[in-house]
């Protein structure tokens, strides 16, 4: 797979290939920066209509309920294209919060 970086800002770096969009999220996911992260990911989904969206939380240092909304919204964005979501590199606490919120019914959480 050859990935091409299409968006690069301080909160998210997005790489794409023909069928996959990978969003590498960095820093805090809170109400201050969730909108710009959402907008960047949605732009990539709209441009590429991927089969799979990978949300990589390796660089996330803090997440509030905005992170839950971010995942649910991206699920709704990719669903019309028949795509699936994989959430990777969640720390123990973030993974626990995501599962309690029921996100494991919408995405594979690793």
Closest CA to 88 of 40, 20, 35: 20
Tokens of 51: 């089969």
pLDDT of residue 2: 47
pLDDT of residue 24: 96
Whole-angstrom CA distances from 64 to 14, 36, 79, 82 are: 21, 15, 24, 28
Could you say which architecture CATH assigns to the domain 4-109?
Answer: 2-Layer Sandwich (3.30)
pLDDT digits (tens, 9 = 90+) for 67-88: 999 999 999 999 999 999 999 9
Q: Cβ atoms within 10 A of the Cβ of 109, count?
A: 18
pLDDT digits (tens, 9 = 90+) for 39-67: 999 999 999 999 999 999 999 999 999 99
Q: Where are the domains of the chain?
A: 4-109
């Amino acid at each position: 797979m050859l990935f091409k970086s299409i968006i690069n800002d301080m909160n998210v770096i997005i790489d794409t290939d023909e069928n996959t969009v990978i969003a590498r999220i960095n820093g805090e996911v809170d109400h201050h920066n969730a909108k710009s992260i959402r907008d960047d990911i949605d732009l990539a989904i709209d441009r590429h209509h991927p089969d799979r969206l990978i949300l990589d939380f390796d660089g996330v240092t803090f997440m509030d309920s905005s992170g839950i909304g971010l995942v649910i919204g991206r699920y709704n964005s990719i669903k019309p294209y028949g795509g699936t979501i994989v959430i990777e590199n969640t720390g123990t606490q973030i993974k626990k919060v995501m599962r309690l919120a029921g996100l494991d019914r919408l995405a594979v959480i690793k």
